Amino acid sequence: MSQILLGAGASAALHKSVDLASKLTQEGHSVRVVLTPRAAELIDPQLFEAVTGERACVSEFGEQRSAAMDHIELSRWAHLVIVAPATANLVGQLALGLAPNLLATTLLALPPDVPRLICPAMNPNMLAQPAVRANLDLLRSRGWRLLDPEVGSLACGDEGAGRLPEVDAIQRAVRELTKA
């Protein structure tokens, strides 16, 4: 089975990432999770640790770190990367090559041959913004596989495209990527 790095941005859909981490682990994958600092304010990283059996990471600094350069160690470890949920902010950081946190730094340090799956989740108006669409197109052109958001009711009360795909849809995409 694969070594999967799951990156998680701050979104109301973050609960699906916990379920995804659990199900991927149950399938026999080794799953390590890196959360943005804002995501770690929404869900305690210990929840990811409980379902994966692996330490969840948030910062390269302080008592949490496990190595001198966690971002390098994590990027070398990963056989596959999933970013779910990918917020508009996180998508923009990746498209522009910015590294304001451990997750973005780790993703920038990935070897070029590591398969990458990005699963955006955001308000429909945010998703429709030309800048966000351009950032997603740019990531796709750079080798990221995009799993389009689903249409439906969102946590903000709006209806439309922007829901994080269901866990089984993400799992199917992972199976396709691990076969390649």
Domain ranges for the chain: 3-179
Show Cβ contacts of residue 169 under 8 Å, excluding neighbours closer than 6 positions: 147, 150
What pLDDT, on a 0 to 100 scale, did the predictor assign at position 62?
67
pLDDT at 44: 96
Tens of pLDDT, residue by residue over 19-45, are 999 999 999 999 999 999 999 999 999
What is the sign of the dihedral through the CA atoms of 15, 62, 87 and 80? Answer: negative
Tell me, what's the pLDDT at 160? Answer: 92
Quick check: 84 and 36 in contact, CB under 8 A?
no
Predicted confidence at residue 67, as pLDDT, reads 64
Q: How far apart are CA 63 and CA 4, in angstroms?
A: 24
Both structure tokens of 139: 């990531």
In which residue ranges of the chain is pLDDT below 50? none
| Stated pTM of the model | 0.95
What is the reported pLDDT for 63?
A: 67
CATH for 3-179, options being 1.20.120.330, 3.10.20.90, 3.40.50.720, 3.40.50.1950: 3.40.50.1950
Residue tagged 């399938």 (tokens):
27
Identified catalytic residue from 96, 100, 156, 158: 156
3-state secondary structure of 32: strand
Would you call 57 a catalytic residue per the annotation? Answer: no
pLDDT at 179: 83
pLDDT of the residue at 180: 62
